[in-house]
C-alpha cells in the first residue's frame, strides 16, 4: 500500500482540478494528456515489458474507435456498453494477428505490425457500407447517462470527459503496475532480454507475447473509443494513420521504455510541447519529436526517466 501513496496524491489532486479550473480549453489539454498517457502506458505493456515494438498500434486504437461509434450510430447502443464490445473485437483481432506475426523477430515484427495497421486502415477506407469510408462518421449526441433513475451527466460539458479520461489514464497506469509486479511481468522481461533463453527455460513465447498484446490492445482500444466520443468525429486516416502509432512509440521511448512512469513523463512532455509549438511551428512540432528521439536513443536509451533515475543513483552512491 505504501507504494501506492505517491500515486494517490497526484491522482487525488487531478480529481479536484475541475472544481477550481473551469476553462474548457485547460480541461481540453488535460483530456489530451490523459489520452496520451493511457496510450503510452498501453503500448508499454507490449513494447516496454515484452520488448515487441509494434509500430502499428493505431490498428487497435482505430478498432476501438470505429467499433464503439458504429454500434452507437447504427444500433443505438450507448457507449458505456458499446465500448466493451469494441474492445472485445479489437482484442480478438489482435490475438489473431499476434498468433501469426509473433514468429517474426525484431525488425521483421516491426514491419509486419506496420503492414497490419495499414491493411486495417485501407480496409476501413474502402468498406464504405460499414465505415462510411473517407467521409468518416460524425457522432450523434450521446444519450444522457442515468443510473437508477438519477441523471449523472448529459455530456454537455468537458467535466464528464475529464473524469472519464482521468479514470482511464489511472487504469492504464494501474495495469502497468500490475503487470510489472506479476509473474507475467517476469516472463515478459525474460522474453525481452533473451527470447531463446526464455524459450529454453520452458516459457511459452507466443502465449505470453499474446497475453501482453491482448492487454495492450484492450487498453489501446478502450482509449480509442474514449477519444472518438470526445472528438465526436472519426475518419480512417485520423485513427488508423501511422502517425498515431509513431506517437505512441515516441511517448514511451522518450519517457523511458519499460518503466511505469516513463510513458507518463513522455506523454506530458509531448502533449505540452505540441500545444505550445502549434502556434510557432505548426505541424513541425514533429521536428522536435524527431530531435528528442535521436537524442534519447544516442544519449539516454532508457529515456528521461532512466536518465533521472541514473542521476539519482549516482548521487546516492556518492554520499
Partner 1 sequence: MAVLLQSIFSGVLIGGVYALIGIGLTLIFGVMRVINFAQGELVMIGMYCTFFLFKLAGIDPFLSVVLTMPALFLLGAALQSTLINRVLDALPQNQILLTIGIGLVLSNTAMLAFTSDYRILSTTYSSSSVALGSVRLSTPLLYCFLITSAITGALYWFLARTDTGHAIRATAQDRDAAQLMGVNVRNMGVLAFGLGSALAGAAGALIAPTYYIFPQVGGAFTLKAFVVVVLGGMGSVVGATLGGVLIGMSESLAAVYIGSGMKELCVYVIFLLVLLLKPSGLLGKSRT
Partner 2 sequence: MILALLLAVSVRIGIINSVTGAEAPIGETLSNGYKLALEDLKKAGIEVEVISEDDTGKPQIALSALEKLVTRDNVTGIVGPYSSSSANPTVKAAEKNKVPILIPTAAKEELTRMSYKYVFRIASPANGLASAGLDATLALGPAKKLAVVYENTDFGTSTAKTAKEYAAKNGLQLVADEAYSKGSPDYRSTLTQVKSAEPDVVFMVSYVADAILLMRQARELALSPKAFIGGGAGFSQPQFVAERDISEGILASTHWTKDSGWPGAKEFAERYQKRFNVDPPYHSACAYESLRIMAECAAKANNDRDKTRACLRDGNWDGIMGPVKFVDYDGFQNQNKHPVLVTQVQQGKVVTVYPKENAVAKPIYPFKWK
Site residues for partner 2 per CB under 8 A: 23-25, 28, 122, 125-126, 133-136, 138, 156, 231-233, 235, 238, 278, 282-283
Q: Who contacts 144 (Cβ-Cβ below 8 Å, separation ≥6)?
A: 151, 152, 153, 154, 155
Q: Please report how close the Cβ of residue 270 comes to partner 1 at its closest, in angstroms.
A: 12
By a kind-dependent CB cut-off of 5 to 8 A, residue 112 interacts, out of partner 2, partner 1, none, with partner 1
Nearer to partner 1, 109 or 230 (CB): 109
Alpha-carbon distance of 238 to 240, in angstroms, equals: 6
How many amino acids of this chain bind partner 1 (CB under 8 A)? 41
Nearer to partner 1, 166 or 249 (CB): 249
Nearer to partner 1, 66 or 161 (CB): 66
Taking CB under 8 A as the rule, does residue 287 contact partner 1?
yes
Identified binder of partner 1 from the candidate list 30, 34, 53, 60, rule CB under 8 A: 53
**What grid cell was written down for 303?**
529515456
Taking CB under 8 A as the rule, does residue 286 contact partner 1?
yes
Taking CB under 8 A as the rule, does residue 116 contact partner 1?
yes
Contact region for partner 1 (CB under 8 A) — 5-13, 179-187, 201-209, 285-293?
285-293
Nearer to partner 1, 47 or 79 (CB): 47
Taking CB under 8 A as the rule, does residue 85 contact partner 1?
no
Nearer to partner 1, 116 or 169 (CB): 116
By a kind-dependent CB cut-off of 5 to 8 A, residue 287 interacts, out of partner 1, partner 2, none, with partner 1
Q: Please report how close the Cβ of residue 273 comes to partner 1 at its closest, in angstroms.
A: 13
Q: Please report how close the Cβ of residue 82 comes to partner 2 at its closest, in angstroms.
A: 19
Contact region for partner 1 (CB under 8 A) — 57-65, 140-148, 153-161, 280-288?
280-288
Structural contact between residues 161 and 219, judged by C-beta atoms closer than 8 angstroms: no
By a kind-dependent CB cut-off of 5 to 8 A, residue 23 interacts, out of partner 2, partner 1, none, with partner 2
DSSP string, the chain: -GGGHHHHHHHHHHHHHHHH---HHHHHHHHHHHHHHHHHHHHHIIIIIS----S-THHHHHHHHHHHHHHHHHH---HHHHHHHHHHHHHHHHHHHHHHHTTS-HHHHHHHHHHHHHHHHHHHHH-HHHH-GGG-EEPPPPPPEEETTEEEE-S-SSHHHHHHHHHHHHHHHHHHHHHHHSHHHHHHHHHHH-HHHHHHTT--HHHHHHHHHHHHHHHHHHHHHHHHHHH-EE-HHHHHSHHHHHHHHHHHHHH-TTSSHHHHHHHHHHHHHHHHHHHHTGGGHHHHHHHHHHHHHHH-TTHHHHHHHHHHHHHHHH-
Nearer to partner 1, 28 or 285 (CB): 285
Residues that bind partner 1 (CB under 8 A): 51, 53, 55, 100-101, 103-108, 110-112, 114-116, 118-119, 122-123, 125-126, 242, 246, 249, 253, 281, 283-284, 286-287, 289-294, 297-298, 301
Amino acid at each position: 500500500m505504501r507504494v501506492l501513496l505517491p500515486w494517490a496524491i497526484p491522482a487525488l489532486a487531478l480529481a479536484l482540478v475541475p472544481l477550481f479550473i473551469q476553462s474548457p480549453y485547460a480541461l481540453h489539454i488535460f483530456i489530451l494528456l490523459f489520452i496520451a498517457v493511457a496510450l503510452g502506458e498501453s503500448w508499454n505493456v507490449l513494447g516496454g515489458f515484452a520488448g515487441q515494438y509494434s509500430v502499428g498500434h493505431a490498428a487497435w486504437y482505430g478498432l476501438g474507435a470505429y467499433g464503439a461509434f458504429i454500434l452507437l450510430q447504427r444500433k443505438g447502443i450507448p457507449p458505456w456498453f458499446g465500448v466493451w464490445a469494441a474492445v472485445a473485437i479489437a482484442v480478438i483481432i489482435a490475438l489473431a494477428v499476434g498468433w501469426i506475426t509473433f514468429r517474426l523477430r525484431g525488425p521483421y515484427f516491426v514491419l509486419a505490425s506496420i503492414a497490419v495497421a495499414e491493411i486495417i486502415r485501407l480496409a476501413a477506407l474502402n468498406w464504405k457500407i460499414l465505415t462510411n469510408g473517407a467521409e468518416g462518421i460524425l457522432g450523434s449526441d450521446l444519450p444522457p447517462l442515468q443510473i437508477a433513475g438519477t441523471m449523472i451527466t448529459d455530456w454537455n460539458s468537458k467535466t464528464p470527459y475529464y473524469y472519464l479520461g482521468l479514470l482511464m489514464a489511472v487504469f492504464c497506469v494501474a495495469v502497468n503496475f500490475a503487470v510489472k509486479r506479476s509473474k507475467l511481468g517476469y516472463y515478459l522481461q525474460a522474453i525481452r532480454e533473451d527470447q531463446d533463453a526464455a524459450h529454453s527455460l520452458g516459457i511459452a513465447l507466443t502465449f505470453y507475447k499474446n497475453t501482453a498484446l491482448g492487454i495492450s490492445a484492450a487498453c489501446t482500444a478502450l482509449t480509442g473509443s474514449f477519444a472518438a466520443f470526445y472528438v465526436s468525429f472519426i475518419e480512417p486516416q485520423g485513427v488508423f494513420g501511422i502517425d498515431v502509432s509513431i506517437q505512441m512509440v515516441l511517448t514511451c521511448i522518450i519517457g523511458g521504455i519499460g518503466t511505469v512512469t516513463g510513458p507518463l513523463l513522455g506523454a506530458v512532455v509531448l502533449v505540452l510541447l505540441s500545444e505550445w509549438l502549434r502556434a510557432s511551428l505548426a505541424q513541425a512540432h514533429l521536428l522536435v519529436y524527431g530531435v528528442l528521439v535521436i537524442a534519447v536513443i544516442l544519449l539516454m536509451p532508457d529515456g528521461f526517466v532512466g536518465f533521472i533515475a541514473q542521476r539519482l543513483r549516482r548521487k546516492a552512491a556518492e554520499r
